[in-house]
Amino acid sequence: MRNKIYICSMYTHFLFISGVEIIFILFIVVMIFGTDKLPEIARTLAKGMSQIKNATNEIKSEIHNSTKAHGIDTDLTGDVRKEINKVKEEIDDLTGPIKRRF
């Protein structure tokens, strides 16, 4: 049986909204606000999104700085990677003689 490869971009939806629904929403927005207000609305939305992004980045940096100041280790990936390497070495030690026989 052959493995089928599907192109994911054909089946993805942004926030579970299809392209037709997005076009319909944009049409309704144009009908309600008019074309002269759209740039102002887009600017306001972009400004709000950038403020949210900046606020989340500030919160992340504050948490990072606070954990560093209190000596809390936040490098979870490093710990997991060390444990994975230990398990790999143990498996290699156990399977080493078996691999050599064949």
Q: What is the pLDDT of residues 34-68, one digit of tens each?
A: 889 989 989 999 999 999 999 999 999 998 888 88
Question: Could you read off the pLDDT of 11-20 as tens digits, one per residue?
Answer: 455 567 788 8
**Could you tell me which residues come within 8 angstroms of residue 17 by beta carbon, excluding any fewer than 6 positions away?**
25
Percentage, residues of the chain above pLDDT 70? 77
**Average model confidence (pLDDT) for the chain?**
80
20 and 13 Cβ atoms separated by less than 8 Å: no
pTM for this prediction: 0.49
64 and 74 Cβ atoms separated by less than 8 Å: yes
- Could you give phi then psi for residue 2, rounded to 5 degrees? -90, 145
Q: What's the pLDDT score for residue 2?
A: 46
- Could you give phi then psi for residue 17, rounded to 5 degrees? -120, 130
